């Protein structure tokens, strides 16, 4: 088994970060719930698409310092490393924001991983070369093939449903918000403990 995992909104939860950053800028009222999709929908519905774009650049850059991993995500990676199950983070991520202050978004993500203990051998111990940030969807798909993933976990059904997705890879949709109950292209899970039960229950 070789497991591939998406990064944004799969390992990292941004809901409260998006809400807090938008509130600090006065772009949303306090009634908008702390969810990325709620903030996005409000800004778009009120004609603030450019602010949504700028907000993403902030959150995926300097704002990452306030983001938390989804519950159980760190435990899953720790179990994989300790059981010698190859696991890779493979993510499609823009290198620089389209709007707002310039920031290397790939480096921001790597800094977050380091701060969370991913590469610390006393904590998770994931090799740095097991983290791949790609500039295009095509490169992300190519990396999944290159690493020989047997399973891939992602939060976007449209990515898992892409006709170019490797047919031999088992697709797992991470859906903590229960937004995609009708997705048939992938096995749907709602939490990282569910992922662990699905993939690691029979691994000594």
Mean pLDDT of 4-19: 94
The answer to whether 143 and 123 have CB atoms below 8 angstroms apart is no
Return the pLDDT at 22.
Answer: 93
Mean pLDDT of 25-42: 92
Q: Does the pLDDT value for residue 193 go beyond 90?
A: yes
pTM here is 0.91
Quote the CA–CA distance of 144 and 5 in Å, as a whole number. 9
Domain locations in the chain?
3-13+68-200, 15-66
Fold of 3-13+68-200: Rossmann fold (3.40.50)
Which DSSP helix (H) or strand (E) runs through 157? helix 157-160
The answer to whether 12 and 70 have CB atoms below 8 angstroms apart is yes
Burial class (CB in 10 A: 0-12, 13-18, 19+), 55: buried
Mean pLDDT of 8-21: 93
**Residue for token pair 């699905």:** 198
Quote the CA–CA distance of 38 and 57 in Å, as a whole number. 17
The answer to whether the Cα torsion of 108, 160, 178, 22 is positive or negative is: positive
Helix %, strand %, coil % of the chain (to 5): 40, 15, 45
Q: Does the pLDDT value for residue 204 go beyond 60?
A: no
55-112 residue pLDDT tens = 988 999 989 999 999 999 999 999 999 999 999 999 999 888 777 677 889 999 999 9
Q: Tell me the two tokens of residue 126.
A: 């994931």
Considering just the CA atoms, what is the radius of gyration of the chain in Å?
Answer: 17
């Amino acid at each position: 088994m070789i497991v591939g995992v998406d990064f944004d909104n799969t390992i990292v939860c941004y809901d409260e970060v998006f809400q807090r950053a938008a509130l600090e800028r006065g772009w949303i009222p306090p009634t908008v719930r702390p969810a990325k999709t709620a903030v996005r929908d409000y800004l778009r519905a009120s004609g603030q698409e450019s602010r949504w774009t700028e907000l993403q650049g902030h959150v995926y850059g300097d704002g990452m310092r306030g983001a938390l991993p989804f519950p159980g995500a760190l435990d899953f990676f720790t179990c994989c490393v300790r059981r010698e199950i190859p696991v890779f983070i493979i993510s499609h991520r823009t290198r620089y924001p389209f709007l707002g202050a310039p920031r290397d978004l790939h480096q921001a993500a790597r800094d977050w991983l380091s701060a969370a203990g991913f590469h610390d051998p006393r904590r998770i111990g994931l090799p740095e070369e097991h983290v791949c940030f790609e500039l295009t969807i095509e490169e992300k798909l190519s990396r999944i093939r290159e690493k020989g993933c047997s399973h891939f976990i992602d939060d976007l059904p449209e990515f898992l449903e892409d006709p170019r997705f490797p047919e031999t890879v088992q697709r797992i949709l991470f859906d903590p918000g229960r937004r995609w109950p009708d997705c048939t292209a992938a096995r749907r899970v709602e939490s990282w403990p569910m992922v662990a039960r699905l993939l690691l229950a029979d691994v000594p």
